[in-house]
Structure 1
Amino acid sequence: MNIEAMAIRCEDQKLSSPDVDAACQVAKISRLEFFDELARWLAAEFLEGRRDFTFCDSVANNMMPLAEWNLTDFAWSVFHAFDNGEFYHPEDSRDVDPVEKYTRPMLRQALAEKE
């Protein structure tokens, strides 16, 4: 199963820990590496306009319990980027789109720091 298929199942809450473990075993990667790759895929898909915020935010939120809240700094950065786009921030007017102000710049920064 490729990362896109895994993300779709994660968004639908149909991805399980045994699925993640099996994918890691096949790819010969750790769970940390798996969630890092999922986070990188989400960030790129969103920034390049292939997936919308709602899908990516759902995957990011659903991956947290699957990861048992054990993520690399990069994956946490991606999670926080989507998390910050979920609500209007008290210091901003309602005219400010939190996805544009917070999510996109935070994702760009996370990807730049990862390289």
Structure 2
Amino acid sequence: MSTAIRELIASLKVKHEDEVALLNSLAKGQAELDGPKLSRLVAEADLENWSAQSTLARNKLLDAFALELALGFSENALDFDFCNRVVNELLGALNLQEEEPALFWSVFLAFDAGEFYHDKDRSIHPVDRYTRPQIAEIVRGHTTDLAEHAAS
């Protein structure tokens, strides 16, 4: 399963990087109001399809996705902007009647914490102060999942 999720993440990463490169190539101000916007990387239909293809319940799929994002971020293979965008979009695709999967929710909150400064101290970026330590703790807490990750 990890291989399939890593492949999904890789395809989402390419789409994300292409969109960001396009926006960065535009003249300053051109993209602000009338220019192209970032499209959704993940919709509810995508989540349904991935769940059906994997035969995993959506909550299990979201937890597996979150672990792969956490691992990629902790290994510096995936950057904060991409991971944060994906977990935000996954949350948006989650049916609000569903119970949030625990691991997914922890990873979401770790990336959410890196979005802003929490106080007046600007000496450490919030990603370094909050997200990195939380993700490191999440990864440490899933050592059995990591053994499976290394084997796949």
The two structures have a TM-score, normalised by structure 1, of 0.85
Sort the Cα spacing of 1:25 and 1:98 in 2 relative to 1 into closer, same or farther, 3 A.
same
> Which of 89, 92, 114 is the aligned partner of 1:62?
89
**What residue number does 1:26 align with?**
53
**1:64-115 C-alpha deviation (Å, 9 max, x unpaired):** 011225421111110000000011111x511111111110111111222234
Post-superposition offset of 1:5: 4.9
**1:43-74 C-alpha deviation (Å, 9 max, x unpaired):** 11111011111111111111101122542111
RMSD of Structure 2 on Structure 1 (CA): 2.3
**What residue number does 2:43 align with?**
16
Q: Which ranges in structure 1 are unaligned for 5 or more consecutive residues? A: none
The percent identity for this pair of structures is: 30
Post-superposition offset of 1:17: 2.0
Cα pair 1:74 1:114 within 8 Å, conserved: no
Structure 1 window deviating more from structure 2 (6-15 vs 72-81): it is 6-15
- Kindly name which structure, 1 or 2, has the bigger radius of gyration based on alpha carbons: 2
**1:4-39 C-alpha deviation (Å, 9 max, x unpaired):** 454417965143322222221221110001111110
**What residue number does 1:97 align with?**
125
Alignment of 1:32-111 (within 5 A): 32-69=59-96, 70-90=99-119, 92-111=120-139
Aligned mates of 2:130, 2:91 — CA distance in 1? 20
Aligned mates of 1:88, 1:63 — CA distance in 2? 23
Which AA in structure 1 matches 2:83?
Answer: C
Aligned mates of 1:65, 1:114 — CA distance in 2? 25
Paired residues in the alignment total 114
Q: Which ranges in structure 2 are unaligned for 5 or more consecutive residues? A: 17-38, 144-152
